[in-house]
């Protein structure tokens, strides 16, 4: 409270504080929602996640809204910058006086926002950023609506061990926190199932040759390799694997790579024929299961170029609407939070794993599908050899 009081005293532009406002941001016909994202800057491609979310709001509004109220998005640009993101959050909470927050790409920004938003007490559904520390330990008003790093890392290892007779697993990773957010839970899952990585190798960002790492792996001959590498380094690693005769060993990558983009980078299907990546959706991006979401986005944003990021926030939007409907017309922030805590095994129709929140666990998505080339075509898989 002291930090908030200091902020309010120093800012003459702010309206009255909304801390106690159970119905702040509500009118008879509108629910205002603050949507933060990197709408500018080098990471602006991530903002496609927020565009998809706002298209979902538009679709709900065209169908009459929720209990007669329209979902009104108030957008703020974080630029994927911590200071800018903090200013955006304060503006939305104390000046625009939104009812709740949803969105947020860029984990570093979202982690920095957590103390401010937790103290303010309004509901916040994180709809893109994946860092576990945003929603763990549990804060009563903060919900994670996408797979976190821990969920993705464990899903990677689960897929690896679903391949029959896999006992030797090697890991190659960057040395940064991003890579560890995938590889640490992956290693934990392997160990829980009696598998100790045979090699844990490092390939730094910007490295243009993976010969040393590949030669170590050639001596080790693992059954599967987990690669916590960004897309550029993944392409180099896969090329060098093929060069030194390891192209038959499957490689499991993170959500930081895109299957089709990786194919474009390496230039030939043979190099990526055994490459798999985390895929959070129920179908390929151009598959029939995703068509209605693509059509929805293009209805409201006709010129929007779709990418892997375009759909990631929609599942949490589905969960929000379900909770708003359950909360009833006499909506308050506390009622919404209570209903979010009751979301259980919700099939959103877009995410490959359901959303479940409880009062003790606000990381709602516990798994992910995997995508790989089967018979030369991108295919979504539940497990090794099992199409989704």
* Contact (Cβ atoms closer than 8 angstroms) between residue 248 and residue 274: yes
Q: Residue 292 in 3-state DSSP?
A: helix
* Contact (Cβ atoms closer than 8 angstroms) between residue 148 and residue 363: yes
Alpha-carbon gap, residue 343 to 316, rounded angstroms: 11
Residue 236: predicted pLDDT: 97
Per-residue pLDDT of the chain (388 residues; tens, 9 = 90+): 334 443 443 443 344 344 458 999 999 999 999 999 999 988 888 899 999 999 999 999 999 999 999 999 999 999 999 999 999 999 999 999 999 999 998 888 999 999 999 999 999 999 999 889 999 999 999 999 999 999 999 999 999 999 999 999 999 999 988 889 899 999 999 999 999 999 999 999 899 999 999 999 999 999 999 999 988 999 999 999 999 999 999 999 998 788 988 999 999 999 999 999 999 999 998 899 999 999 999 999 999 999 888 999 999 999 999 999 999 999 999 999 999 999 999 999 999 999 999 999 999 999 999 999 999 999 999 999 999 9
Residues 6+ apart with CB under 8 A from 212: none
Residue 4: predicted pLDDT: 40
Alpha-carbon gap, residue 288 to 246, rounded angstroms: 35
Q: Do domains 30-148+288-366 and 151-283+370-387 have the same CATH topology?
A: yes
Residues 6+ apart with CB under 8 A from 305: none
Alpha-carbon gap, residue 231 to 58, rounded angstroms: 33
Both tokens assigned to 84: 């800018």
Residue 14: predicted pLDDT: 40
Burial zone of 198 (CB within 10 Å; 0-12 exposed, 13-18 middle, 19+ buried): middle
Q: Domain 151-283+370-387 carries which CATH code?
A: 3.40.50.2300
Beta-sheet pairing, 124-126 with 142-147 = parallel
Residue 20: predicted pLDDT: 54
Alpha-carbon gap, residue 310 to 286, rounded angstroms: 12
Both tokens assigned to 228: 């916590």
Alpha-carbon gap, residue 150 to 160, rounded angstroms: 16
Alpha-carbon gap, residue 48 to 28, rounded angstroms: 30
* Contact (Cβ atoms closer than 8 angstroms) between residue 52 and residue 313: yes
Domain ranges of the chain: 30-148+288-366, 151-283+370-387
Residue 256: predicted pLDDT: 78
Q: Domain 30-148+288-366 carries which CATH code?
A: 3.40.50.2300
Task: Identify the sign of the CA torsion 308, 88, 315, 108.
Answer: positive
Q: Residue 50 in 3-state DSSP?
A: helix
* Contact (Cβ atoms closer than 8 angstroms) between residue 156 and residue 180: no
Beta-sheet pairing, 369-374 with 275-279 = antiparallel
Q: What are phi and psi of 148, to 5 degrees?
A: -85, 175
The model's pTM: 0.85
* Contact (Cβ atoms closer than 8 angstroms) between residue 38 and residue 104: no
Alpha-carbon gap, residue 86 to 92, rounded angstroms: 10
Both tokens assigned to 110: 């979202």
* Contact (Cβ atoms closer than 8 angstroms) between residue 68 and residue 329: yes
Alpha-carbon gap, residue 324 to 61, rounded angstroms: 13
């Amino acid at each position: 409270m002291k930090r908030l009081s200091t902020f309010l005293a120093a800012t003459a532009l702010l309206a009255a504080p909304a801390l106690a406002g159970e119905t702040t941001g509500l009118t008879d016909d509108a629910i205002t929602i603050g949507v933060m994202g990197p709408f500018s800057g080098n990471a602006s491609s991530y903002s496609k996640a927020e565009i998809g979310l706002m298209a979902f709001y538009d679709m709900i509004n065209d169908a009459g809204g929720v209990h007669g109220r329209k979902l009104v998005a108030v957008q703020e640009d974080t630029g994927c910058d911590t200071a800018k993101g903090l200013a955006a959050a304060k503006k939305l909470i104390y000046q625009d006086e939104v009812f709740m927050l949803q969105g947020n790409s860029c984990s570093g920004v979202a982690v920095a926002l957590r103390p401010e938003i937790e103290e303010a007490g309004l509901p916040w559904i994180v709809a893109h950023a994946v860092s576990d520390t945003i929603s763990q330990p549990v804060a009563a008003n903060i919900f994670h609506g996408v797979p976190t790093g821990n969920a993705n890392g464990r899903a990677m290892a689960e897929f690896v061990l679903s391949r029959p007779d896999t006992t030797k697993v090697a890991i190659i990773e960057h040395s940064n926190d991003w890579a560890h957010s995938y590889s640490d839970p992956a290693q934990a899952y392997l160990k829980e199932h009696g598998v100790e990585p045979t090699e844990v190798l490092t390939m730094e960002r910007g490295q243009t040759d993976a010969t040393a790492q590949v030669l170590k792996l050639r001596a080790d001959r693992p059954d599967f390799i987990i690669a916590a590498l960004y897309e550029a380094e993944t392409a180099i690693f896969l090329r060098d694997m093929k060069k030194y005769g390891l192209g038959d060993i499957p490689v499991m990558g993170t959500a930081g790579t895109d299957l089709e983009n990786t194919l474009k980078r390496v230039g030939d299907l043979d190099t990526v024929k055994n490459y798999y990546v985390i895929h959070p959706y129920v179908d390929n991006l151009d598959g029939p299961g995703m068509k209605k979401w693509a059509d929805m986005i293009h209805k409201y944003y006709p010129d929007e170029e779709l990418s892997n990021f375009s759909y990631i926030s929609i599942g949490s939007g589905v969960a929000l609407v379900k909770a708003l409907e359950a909360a009833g017309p006499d909506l308050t922030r506390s009622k919404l939070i209570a209903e979010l805590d009751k979301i259980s095994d919700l099939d959103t129709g877009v995410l490959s794993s359901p959303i479940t929140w409880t009062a003790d666990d606000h990381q709602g998505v516990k798994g992910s599908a995997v995508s790989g080339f089967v018979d030369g075509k991108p295919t979504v898989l539940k497990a090794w050899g099992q199409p989704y």
